[in-house]
Amino acid sequence: MPELPEVETVVRLLRPALRGRRIEGLRVWWERSLGGVRPRDFRRAVVGTRIGRIWRRGKYAVCDLERAGDSAGHLLCHLRMSGRLHVEGASSGRGPHERVRLLLSGGRALRFSDVRKFGHLGFAECASDALASLGPEPLGRSFTGSWLHAALRSRRRALKPLLLDQSFISGLGNIYVDEALHRARLHPLRRSDRIAARSAVRLHGEIIATLREAIAHDGSSFDTFYRTPEGRPGRFQDQFQVYGRQGKPCRSCGTPVRRLVVAQRGTHVCPRCQRAPRAL
DNA sequence: AGCTACTCCTGGTAGC
DNA sequence: TGCTACCAGGAGTAGC
């Protein structure tokens, strides 16, 4: 499932293919993929614009749009679980599960495909308004060990649901939360306000390290969904310590990895490396 | 404030 | 073989 490293990979690969192209038309096969914008309004907003900067915020991919050099709003894409973006020739036939297609100058097309239809390729007048509720970027300057420690202490929630909360930190999903918690040797059900400063700093470091390594491997393709815009799977799944490894030995201590459900999510822990809180 | 359940979806798979 | 039932999962929302 696309999380920060997968979206970062997609953005990096799409950037050279999209930058400077004009949007000349569109096809919409599944209206809800526009995220609540009516197709008519979407068409009026984007057709005739030129794509400027292409960037990422949390799990969102964003394209700045320009008209005659002035800002003309933004394309906002969230891949959710099965969304894919890629650029191809505009004349190619509709791909399997293709939901939206933007026809671009130079005979190219940006295709948004999404098996499960949870993703969005939408339009926002103002990206910073649309993304205002997102918490800090884990790879940004404001995400520091002391910030994390203070933020954890200010809440009273289990670690995992808190780290999955995009208004707390943006970009982490089920896979990277499990991986970072294991690397930091913290159990997902530990209460956030009971995490010592040293542990918070360790967690901070492991979140960053996990995300950086995942980006360096073009993300993770755990299931059939995530592919880079070039159609290649990511490679970070081979480095997983716990995610999807229930019953297999922990790579640190050999104890079988256990799967539990936390906040309705499959959750993977090493019962030895990640000691459960006493209250359990 | 923080929890649980439910919703949106489809493909894959388990069980019969 | 072919059917049904169930599951995964990000995020928004409702109810407690």
Q: How far is CA A97 from CA A11, A50, A136, A252, in A?
A: 21, 26, 33, 40
Cβ partners under 8 Å of residue A194, min gap 6: A277
At A221 the pLDDT is 87
At A170 the pLDDT is 96
Cβ partners under 8 Å of residue A44, min gap 6: none
Q: Which of A50, A56, A57, A59 is catalytic?
A: A59
The pLDDT of residue A280 is above 70? no
User: What is the mean predicted confidence (pLDDT) over A102-106?
Assistant: 97
Q: Which window residues (155-194, chain A) lie with Cβ within 7 Å of strand B? A: 155-158, 161-162
The pLDDT of residue A21 is above 90? yes
More confident residue, A192 or A224: A192
Nearest nucleotide relative to A80: CA against C1': C10
Instruction: Please report, as a single letter, which amino acid is at residue A58.
Output: G
pTM of the predicted model, to two decimals? 0.96
| Nearest residue by alpha-carbon distance to C1' of B9 | A116
Q: What is the CA radius of gyration of chain A?
A: 20
The pLDDT of residue A104 is above 90? yes
| Nearest residue by alpha-carbon distance to C1' of C10 | A80
Annotated active-site residue A179? The verdict is no
Bases in strand C with any atom closer than 7 Å to a protein CB: 8-12
Measured at the CA of A35, the angle between CA A123 and CA A77, to 5 degrees, comes to 60
First and final C-alpha spacing in chain A: 30
The pLDDT of residue A222 is above 80? no
Does residue A80 lie within 7 Å of nucleic acid chain B, judged by its CB? no
pLDDT averaged over every residue in chain A:
94
Enumerate the H helices of chain A as residue ranges: 4-18, 39-46, 127-130, 145-153, 159-164, 174-183, 197-216
Q: What digits encode the pLDDT tens for the residues A223-251?
A: 778 888 888 889 999 999 999 999 999 99
Q: Which of A212, A251, A265, A272 is catalytic?
A: A265
| Domains of chain A: residue spans and CATH | 4-130 (3.20.190.10), 145-269 (1.10.8.50)
Residue A87 DSSP SS3:
strand
Q: Protein A157 CA to nucleic acid B6 C1', in Å?
A: 21
The pLDDT of residue A263 is above 90? no
Determine what percent of chain A falls in helix, strand and coil, rounding each to the nearest 5: 30, 25, 45
Does residue A142 lie within 7 Å of nucleic acid chain B, judged by its CB? no
Annotated active-site residue A2? The verdict is yes
Annotated active-site residue A3? The verdict is yes
Enumerate the H helices of A131-254 as residue ranges: 145-153, 159-164, 174-183, 197-216
Largest interatomic CA distance in chain A: 62
At A124 the pLDDT is 95
Q: What digits encode the pLDDT tens for the residues A117-172?
A: 999 999 999 999 999 999 999 999 999 999 999 999 999 999 999 999 999 999 99
